[in-house]
Every structure is written in structure tokens, then in C-alpha cells.
Amino acid sequence: MKTTLRVLSALSLSAILSTLLIGQDQAASAKQDVPTGPVAIEKCIDCHADQANAFHDGIHTPKSTGDERGYPDCFTCHIDPHFDGEAECKGVTEGPLAIHERCSSCHEKDLESLGHSEHLRQLQRGNADAPSCIDCHETHAITKPSDELSAVHTNNVSERCETCHDDYRKRLHHDLDDGLAKISCTYCHIGHDTEVSSFQDRVNYGSGMQHCGYCHQNAHEGENLAHGKFIDPEQVGRELKCTTCHVYHWEVHDGQPTPVASQQDCALCHKEEQADYSTSIHARSLAAGNSDAPGCIDCHGESDVLSADHQFTPQGVVQTCEECHADKELMLAYEINPYTVKGFETTYHGKLYDLLKTDKDFATCNSCHGHHGVLEPEDPASMVSRQRILETCQECHEDATDSFITYLVHPIRPSSDDLAAMGALASTKSAAAPRDGITLNTEEDPLGIGVWGAIFTAADWFMKALFVSVMAFFILHTLLWFQRGVRERSAKPSLKYYRRFTPYERFMHILVNISFLMLAFTGLPQTFAHTDMGRWILENIMTLPTAQVLHYWAAAITLLYFVMHLAQVALKLKKHGFKPIFWGPDSLVPQMKDWRDFVGHMKWFFNKGPKPQFDRWTYWEKFDYLAVFWGVAMIGVSGLVRWQEEFFGNLLGGGAVSLATTIHQEEALLATAFIFIVHFFNTHMRSEKFPMDVCIYTGLISEEEMIEERPEQYERLKKSGILDKYEVKVRSQTSVLLSYLWGTLALSTGLFLLVLIVIGLINH
């Protein structure tokens, strides 16, 4: 029934169907009567009902009786019903190019752009697989492109294109999960014009991103981006387009663009950088099949590439390199020291990196190893090879000599466990891939680094062991003392005061306060610059240059009070001789009594004996005193070497500078921690003295305190009849208040820095 209705409808339109056959009159004179218009459809429908139905639903059939435009019928395309065979009737004999010519007889204007089509070019070259009109638009059921049922509607055209271009499903503009196109093929390949050159001009019209920009708005236009001005010919000297870097149909694997393609794309513009990179250990390793070796996008990124000035700041360089060179498992697999970055951070260069220093150049990875053309140290052309290392150092240290280059830039070496694990890890990597690092087990040591490395390691272990042992012992000592003192504390009024410290000694102690707190306050933030608190101090309280200058002045004050004290000792020696200085109750040199006092004190902590009878100086006060000599010598000498590193590096070898750095840092850390924990408690925070003992500032000790804390001194002076000579008037309220204010400032500063030490050690 449906078929009959359609035939009747077609017959009713016979009056308005026109004959569009080329040469129809000639054919009519040569042949017998040829049916046209609806008559042709009527004749054909008897055998070709399906094709007639499809043709009726298409755009080539009028949909109203008032439509008088000329429409094609069966013989418009199939030419002559008096065919010799089926192939000739269908037009296949002449090939797809004939189909194009027949369509263009009516759609000449529509097919003008097809002249630039690669499809037509392939047809003209005789490519039988090239598509003709009906391959995209169907045969009989041809509909408008705006019709959602049309094969070339924007929702359907990609699927039609993929019948030939099936690999498009692997490309970036497809959803990898369901395989659907995110954008239509015709969004870029407008109309029939599919030629690449004209497509480029449309996509990148006016050097911009007319088409790409609809989705990728503001791409590469950030202020700090490397390609921020890439579309401006005046900026780059030539016109660039999106497709200069981005391949049209960029193949993806697991959602990621192919890295090798990215490397090749970068080389199109960055020829000099590519030339340098091609000689590097990274490039050679990558070419050998090592997928772990970095290419352009591994360091520079792929999207939103920052300009070198913003990305490769000193901090940015280290952060980029450490992505691979701080990966322990990866580095050991390639027989590379995995602690190069960590070791670098322990050096002076690394401390400047931690401090986010920007106002002065300092060495980072690329300063010594170069940029794109990084070579293995064994290569004579490497900037850190034996042949060139001095030249590299002299870029900053102009007076450096061969001795200086033994400076340990990466002092931390793999442990024996690391070396044992290396073999197993290395077996997982291709033996053909070249190694891009140092050889860990080399027997040759042309720079002499091995000797200094051994000394450095031994010194580092010694200083750490010294720190742990001293702090562990005295923290326990402090805790035991505190719990014992709490049980006996009582308030006792005082009527008499005796002189304990002379004005000269009080002045020197104030100098000690100033210099030590200044050294700690300026040095600890540099040591623990990797912590938020350390950086906050250097960003909000003082800059790094200020901290360094204050540190030097504090060191000068330390030298001043040390010389002043030596002068005081020299005068006493001249006046009293050696015996009172090195022996007796007024001597600060440890004696057997101090050992007995210590043992007795430990027993008293546990209620196993009476409290020792101390004299003028206790065993812990003598320890504090002698520790100053050790600390000033170790910290002072090592600090001097660090201060004049080129002189001492050339004189003693660069390894001496590395050793001095470790000693200076570790000993300073020990000294500050000891003062802020042990000395502060022993002097101020133990139960008998809490919250503070200002004796060192007032110079006085009450009679009750002297009897309680130093009974042997009290009895000794009393028996000798000279106790009254030591009696002095009590200090004024103002002087006592000032003493407490100064002591509070020093104590609070020390406790604040103690918190910084704890945070720094936890985060290290």
C-alpha cells in the first residue's frame, strides 16, 4: 500500500518535473521513446522498489505540488535505460569520477570548493579507493546536511569520514572511553575543501586561532609563558600557527601524546637547543631505547610552557633535575648516585638554594653541568670532567686552582646497602642504554675527591655521634635534676648578698649573650632554610645578606670576648701563678672532686645519697666553660675557612672547605642545642631557680642560695675569715628589673630558636 501511494504521488508531480538529461534530444532521435520524470520512476519502480522508496525520501523529490523546480529522476543519473549491461546502467563503468561529473552538472556552485579537495585529486589520478559524492552523501536517500538523518550532518559526518580514516578514533579530539568524536571533522575540514594548505589557512586565519581558539581560548597567552607571543609575527620574526607545533591528528597512547613527536616538533623552531641536546647523554640514552631518559617535554612541560626566566630559576632548575636524580630506585638502576641533590643541599650552594636567594647568582645543577648538552663526567668534553672542571669552577671562583676543585659538591654517597641493591635494579634496565651519571665503584680518583670524601664521612659521623651522645646524656641529667629539685623547692627570704661575678665578668657574659644569640638567630635560619619557619625569618625579619653580615659581626664579637678572657687569664697567671688557675677551689679546670660530685649528684637524683657539697664552681659549670673553648675553636676556624673558601681551598684543597662546612654546621647545632636545652635548664629553669637566675647580670648571690647551693665555698670563706669581704649591698629594683628584662629576651629568643631546631631536624 505504501509503495502504491508513493508511486501515485510521484505521478502527480509529472507536470513539474523537467528533463535535465544532457543530449536527451539526440538520444530520443537515436532511440525509441525514452520515459522521463515520474514516468521513469514508474517504469523503474516495478523492479527497483527499495531504491525508489529511498529516492522519494531524499532531497531530490519535490515535497509539494507547488514546487516547480526541476528535479532529477532515475535517468538523470543512470543516463540511458537501453543499457548493454548492469554495470553500464549504474555508471560504474566510467568510475567514481563520472559520478562527480554528473553531480556537478546540477551542483556546480556547491562543488566549486571540491576543486581544492584531495579527494578529487585522487579521483583524477585514478585512485579507485578515493571517495566520490555518493560515498559521503549516500546514493538514493540523499538529504540536506542540516537534516539530523543526513550522513554528513555534523553529528554523523565523523563516523562517515572514519569509514576510510579509521585511525581518527585514536586521536586527541576523540573521547578515549566511548570512541565518540569531541568535535566534528567538518569543524576544521569545512565543506568539500579538504586540501591541507587551505585547511591550515582557515584554521590559523590571520596568524591567530580562529578555529582552534573556539575550544582552546587564551592558549599560550599567559604573561610568563614561553610561547605567550608566538602568534605575533613582529615578536618572533615570522608567522607561526597552531599546527607549527600541534599535528592535526595527534596520535595518543593511553591518553598521552607521543613524546617522540613532541621532541621533533620542538626541534622545528629550537634548532640550536636541539643540536646541543642531540650530543647529550640524555639524547643518546633516549635514542638507545631508554624510555626513562628525558626529552623536551620532560623538563619544559607540554602545555603552558613557561619562559626560561620564570621556569628555570635557580630553584626551578634543582626542582626539575631532582624529579629524576632524587628518585632513588631509578638512579640506582642506572648506577647513578641517588643522593646528588640531597648532597648538594648540604653544601653552601645548596643552602643558598634553600634560601630562595634571588639577589645574587649561585651555583645550581646547570651552572656546572650545562643545560641541554649535559654529558657524563667521564667525557672529556663535560663541564665537570677532569679536563674542564677547573675552568667551570673559575666561572665563579676566579682564583681557584687545581687544589680547590676537590670541593665536595655532592658529598653524600650511596651506602653499602644501596650498592648491594644496585645490581638487582640495574638488571631491570637495558644494558644497551648508556649510563648518564658517575661511576660509583671507580678505582681512579683523578680529582682526589675520594680522600676528602672519606675524611668528610668520618667527620660527619663523629659530629653526629657527638651531638647525640652529649644531648642524650645531659637531657637525662636535666630530667633527673628537675624532678629532684621540685621536691625541695621552698621560698627563703634573704638579708645578705655576696659578690659572685665581677663587673668585668658580667660584661663579658653580656657579650656572650649578644654574640651567641646573634649567631644562632642568623645561622639557624640558613641551616634550616628548608622549613617554613626558617624561610619566614629570612623573608620577614631579615634578608639573607643582612643575616650574613650580622653573622660576621657576631663572630667578631665572639673573637673579642674570647681575647678579653684570655687577657684576664694571663693577668691572673702573672699575679697568682699557675696553681690557683689550674688547681684549687677557684679553678675552672676539672678535678677529682668534680667526678665525686657528679657521682654523688646522680645518687641524689634517685634518693640514694645526700646532695653533694659544691664549692664555687660545679662540675656542669666547668663543662660549660670548657665547651666554649672547644666551640670557639671548632666553629671559629671552620667559619673562617668557609668565609675565605677560595684561599683555603687553594691552600688545603677543596675538600677542606667541604669538611669545614660540615664541622661548622654540626658543631654550631650542637652548641646552640646544648645552650638552649641544658645550660638554660641548669641556670634558669630548674626548680630551684625557675623562672630565671639573674645572678650573672646582678653579680650577686644571696646568703641562703650560697649556703644551699655552694656550702663548701660558704664554709671555706667563713673559716678563712674573708667572707665579709665578699658581702655587697643589694642591687636596686631598677637594676634587678633590667636584669630580668634582658634575661627574658635572651631566654625567649633561645627557646624560639630551639623550636626552629626541633622543626628543622624533624623535617630534614
Asked if residue 459 and residue 394 are part of one domain, the reply reads: no
Residue 254 lies in a domain: no
3-state secondary structure of 194: coil
CA distance 28 to 34: 7
Asked if residue 593 and residue 702 are part of one domain, the reply reads: yes
Residue 406 lies in a domain: yes
- Tell me what pLDDT residue 28 has: 38
Residue 221 lies in a domain: no
- Tell me what pLDDT residue 50 has: 80
C-alpha distances out from residue 520 to 560, 614, 660, 676, 760, Å? 17, 32, 18, 10, 14
What the block records as the C-alpha cell of 520 is 644562632
Q: What is the mean pLDDT of each run of 10 residues along the chain (764 residues)?
A: 40 34 38 53 76 80 72 74 56 65 78 75 80 82 82 80 72 59 70 64 48 65 64 56 63 50 67 85 83 83 74 81 85 82 79 59 81 86 86 85 78 75 63 41 48 74 85 83 58 72 90 91 85 83 88 93 91 86 88 92 90 90 89 90 87 84 87 84 77 84 86 89 86 81 84 81 71
Asked if residue 396 and residue 514 are part of one domain, the reply reads: no
- Strands 252-253 and 256-257 turn out to be antiparallel
Asked if residue 505 and residue 372 are part of one domain, the reply reads: no
Residue 712 lies in a domain: yes
What the block records as the C-alpha cell of 225 is 609563558
Residue 246 neighbours by CB under 8 Å, 6+ apart: 265
Residue 473 lies in a domain: no
For residue 663, give the CATH number of its domain. 1.20.950.20
Asked if residue 460 and residue 380 are part of one domain, the reply reads: no
- Strands 497-499 and 252-253 turn out to be unpaired
Residue 41 lies in a domain: yes
Q: By the 8 A CB rule, do 351 and 526 touch? A: yes
CA distance 757 to 764: 10
Asked if residue 746 and residue 611 are part of one domain, the reply reads: yes
DSSP letter (8 states) at residue 109:
T
Residue 741, CB-side half-sphere exposure with 13 Å CA sphere? 6
- Tell me what pLDDT residue 124 has: 81
Q: Name the burial class of residue 242, with classes exposed (0-12), middle (13-18) and buried (19+) by CB atoms within 10 angstroms of its CB.
A: buried
Q: Which domain holds residue 83?
A: 2-197
- Tell me what pLDDT residue 210 has: 54
Identify the domain boundary among 447, 482, 516. 447
Residue 374 lies in a domain: yes
- Tell me what pLDDT residue 32 has: 42
Asked if residue 568 and residue 715 are part of one domain, the reply reads: yes
- Tell me what pLDDT residue 429 has: 58
Identify the domain boundary among 150, 175, 197. 197
Q: Which residues on adjacent β-strands are paired with residue 256?
A: 253
Q: Is 206 left (phi over 0), alpha (psi -120 to 50) or beta?
A: left
Q: By the 8 A CB rule, do 302 and 260 touch? A: no
Identify the domain boundary among 197, 229, 244. 197
State how many domains the chain has.
Answer: 3
Q: By the 8 A CB rule, do 151 and 157 touch? A: yes
Asked if residue 438 and residue 550 are part of one domain, the reply reads: no
Asked if residue 461 and residue 426 are part of one domain, the reply reads: no
Asked if residue 432 and residue 498 are part of one domain, the reply reads: no
- Strands 497-499 and 700-702 turn out to be antiparallel
Asked if residue 498 and residue 416 are part of one domain, the reply reads: no
Closest of 459, 474, 469 to residue 624, by C-alpha:
474
Asked if residue 497 and residue 534 are part of one domain, the reply reads: yes
What the block records as the C-alpha cell of 203 is 584554521
3-state secondary structure of 251: strand
What the block records as the C-alpha cell of 134 is 555518493
Cα 395-399-404 angle, rounded to 5 deg: 90
Residue 211 lies in a domain: no
What the block records as the C-alpha cell of 449 is 675527591
Residue 96 neighbours by CB under 8 Å, 6+ apart: 123, 128, 130, 131, 132, 135
Q: Does the global pTM surpass 0.85?
A: no
